[in-house]
């Protein structure tokens, strides 16, 4: 699954000029994710509330939201080794 949280982070970084992409993310990102075979995972109210109980191993709000979603039985794919400290499945890429 591809998280809406990742789409949020991509959109913010693109708007700040921190990443260069082939065009506005809203015109191509969702179709590209679907074409790659991923389902979309919206940000649920319960995901956001799960943040309250998360230990502060990591400060980045987007990463913390991804961890909160992964704690719902998903696997988090990341290169950030700090995220392995959380109680969720992590696949390092």
Q: pLDDT tens digit string along 16-51?
A: 999 999 999 999 999 999 999 999 999 999 999 999
* Long-range Cβ contacts of 39-47 (<8 Å, 24+ apart): 39/1, 39/2, 40/1, 40/2, 40/4, 41/1, 41/2, 41/3, 41/4, 41/69, 41/74, 42/4, 43/3, 43/4, 43/5, 43/8, 43/69, 44/69, 46/72, 47/72
What six digits make up the tokens of 2?
């591809």
pTM of the model: 0.91
Whether the per-residue pLDDT at 71 is higher than 90: the answer is yes
């Amino acid at each position: 699954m591809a998280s809406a949280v990742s789409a949020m982070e991509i959109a913010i970084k693109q708007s700040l000029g921190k990443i260069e992409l082939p065009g506005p993310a809203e015109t191509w990102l969702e179709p590209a994710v679907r074409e790659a075979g991923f389902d979309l995972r919206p940000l649920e109210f319960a995901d956001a509330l799960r943040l309250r109980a998360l230990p502060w191993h990591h400060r980045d709000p987007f990463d913390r939201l991804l961890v909160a979603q992964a704690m719902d039985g998903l696997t988090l794919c990341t290169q950030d080794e700090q995220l392995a400290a959380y109680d969720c499945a992590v696949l390092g890429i």
